[in-house]
Amino acid sequence: MKAADARAMTVDQLDDEVLKLKKEQFNLRFQRATGQLENTSRVREVRRDIARMLTVAKQKRTGDEPQVKAPAKPKTETKAARPKAKRTAKARVPKSSRSKPHPKNRAKAKKSKK
């Protein structure tokens, strides 16, 4: 369940939903213990749903509900309309300043050159 769905509920409805989810969590624990649980991801979903419901219920009780932000305005400038950045040539690293291979690999490289 999404947090937006939970915010639409009253505190009593949230409490009832939490109770229902806790019963489901109890049954899922037993199913896992007996090896009958098929959808193992449901345990995680239920646990998070309970936490989400409790959080929203607490926010409603204390009056600390977050303000829902309006969606951002879409940008009118398209990718094609933007000026392209100039590409600069990559500077070549002198051979002397390159990192040296590991001693084991250095021995293999010497053998392969001969």
pLDDT of residue 30: 95
Task: Report which of 11, 114, 111, 102 is spatially closest to residue 59, judged by C-alpha positions.
Answer: 11
Domain boundaries, the chain: 3-62
Torsion sign over Cα 97, 101, 106, 110: negative
pLDDT over 90 at 43, yes or no: yes
Q: Output DSSP code: residue 82.
A: S
Rounded to an integer, what distance in angstroms lies between the CA atom of residue 19 and that of residue 1? 15
pLDDT in tens, 44-102: 999 999 999 999 999 999 988 777 666 667 666 666 666 666 777 666 766 666 677 67
| 3-62 belongs to CATH 1.10.287.310 | yes
pLDDT of residue 71: 65
Q: Tokens for 28?
A: 């899922």
pTM of the model as a whole: 0.57
pLDDT of residue 40: 93
pLDDT of residue 25: 96
Identify which has the larger pLDDT, 19 or 82.
19
47 CB neighbour count, 10 Å cutoff:
13
